[in-house]
Structure 1
Amino acid sequence: MRILRAAGYRVMPWKNGGGTTTEIAVSPDGAGLDDFDWRVSMARVETSGPFSSFAGIDRTLSVLEGEGIVLDVAGQPPTRLTAASVPLAFPGDVPTGAALIGGPITDLNVMTRRGRMAHSVERRPLSGEIRIAPRADTTLVLAVGAGVTLFTDDEASLGPFDTLMLDRDSPELGLRPVGRGLLFVIRLHRLAANH
């Protein structure tokens, strides 16, 4: 179990140069945009426009702050995505545009390399005690809008936008909210090699 603090995240330019991304975690460590197996990041989107294209990547987008966006993924009807919406999965290598609904947003972006990794993103309101069972190779738990206290030996805690990283062997965890907010539970699975 590791706690990744928001203050330590890496900030880097978008692939298309249109903004900045705050990288929460990437695998392998230090991987760039062309050679990661998986990547979890947050972005501040200030203007409407096209998304960067990522060949061979599957992505899931969630709105964390702001009014939201309308996402236009080629081949699909436009989707209105707000902070109350379930996370939206789509291929990262089809033409995609986004129109802001009412001002800038912050989004959560989970990307995995198709054929090598798969992922799921679950949005959970922070209310009462929450149990997290790390069933995936890697599980990330991101606190949004509030903090959480972990039921562990040392009563560790997460502040807003801190992330808990668990591997498959981590014990089930209990989390207690500190304020009102959301948890995003990201499960990353390595796929068996095809022979």
Structure 2
Amino acid sequence: MRVLTSFDDRDPVPWANGAGETTELVSLADSESLTPLARPWRLSIARLDRTAEFSALPGMVRTFLPTAEVVLSVDGRTQRIPRLTPLRFRGDQAVVLTELGEPCFAVNLMVAQADSVDPPRRGLVMIGPDEERTVSADDGAAFLLTLASNPDHPRFQLLELTGCDGPTDRLGGVLLH
């Protein structure tokens, strides 16, 4: 297991629409060197402290995982999202955070949509903390994002997993694979 980056080591930046802040852990350019055989992807941690519209990100597929229960409107359809439950949607959809019980963070994985011209490349997916976590070394790159601090790792630390790493359940995080 290798530490790639930590939330605490990065500065927040405004959302593309200026309605909030996010801390980028992996940029699209960084992802090209981390996973050259996968479609470009971006990983960030958004601060959610008020209702707001999400930035439009055409050409991307987004996976959103809040650290507290929230309510989103996705293309006008209301969806209650339980704590630590991933929701996937396209970056060109109209998404609004309509209810927020308490300020929290949200993990955002954005993956470029498949291009029919290029050779097929797999897209990274987020596996939530309550979902099956079996990954073999032959499955390609895998990363773990910690969701809570523990004696060995702070909250929101991104780790690259290797074939010899044991079970990741004890680290309390989401698997990116």
Work out whether the TM-score is over 0.5: yes
Checking the alignment, whether the CA contact within 8 Å between 1:132 and 1:172 is kept in structure 2 is: no
Q: Is 1:162 the equivalent of 2:157?
A: yes
Q: Give the whole-Å Cα distance in 2 for the aligned partners of 1:27 and 1:136.
A: 21
Q: Give the whole-Å Cα distance in 2 for the aligned partners of 1:136 and 1:47.
A: 39
Q: TM-score, length-normalised on structure 2?
A: 0.77
Q: Pick closer, same or farther for the CA change 1:10–1:37 going to 2, 3 Å.
A: farther
The residue identity in structure 1 corresponding to 2:158 is: T
Q: Which residue of 2 aligns with 1:97?
A: 96
SS at match of 1:29: helix
The residue identity in structure 2 corresponding to 1:60 is: T
Checking the alignment, whether the CA contact within 8 Å between 1:147 and 1:177 is kept in structure 2 is: no
Q: CA RMSD for the aligned pairs?
A: 2.7
Q: Give the whole-Å Cα distance in 2 for the aligned partners of 1:92 and 1:72.
A: 14
Unmatched 5+ residue regions in structure 1? 149-156, 188-195
Q: Which residue of 2 aligns with 1:120?
A: 125
142, 145, 161: which is aligned to 1:142?
A: 145
Q: Pick closer, same or farther for the CA change 1:30–1:137 going to 2, 3 Å.
A: closer
Q: Which residue of 1 aligns with 2:165?
A: 173
Unmatched 5+ residue regions in structure 2? 33-38, 116-121
* Deviation digits for residues 13-70 of structure 1 (CA, Å, limit 9, x no counterpart): 1100111101111232299xxxx92101100012112110001110000012x3x211
Q: Which residue of 2 aligns with 1:58?
A: 61
Higher helix share: 2
Q: Which residue of 2 aligns with 1:152?
A: none
Q: Pick closer, same or farther for the CA change 1:115–1:173 going to 2, 3 Å.
A: same
Q: Give the whole-Å Cα distance in 2 for the aligned partners of 1:71 and 1:176.
A: 28
Identity of aligned residues (%): 25
Q: Give the whole-Å Cα distance in 1 for the aligned partners of 2:138 and 2:75.
A: 33
Checking the alignment, whether the CA contact within 8 Å between 1:131 and 1:173 is kept in structure 2 is: no
Higher strand share: 1
* Deviation digits for residues 82-122 of structure 1 (CA, Å, limit 9, x no counterpart): 215x3100101111111123132210000011015523211
Q: Pick closer, same or farther for the CA change 1:8–1:91 going to 2, 3 Å.
A: same
SS at match of 1:177: helix
Q: Pick closer, same or farther for the CA change 1:135–1:122 going to 2, 3 Å.
A: farther
The residue identity in structure 1 corresponding to 2:17 is: N
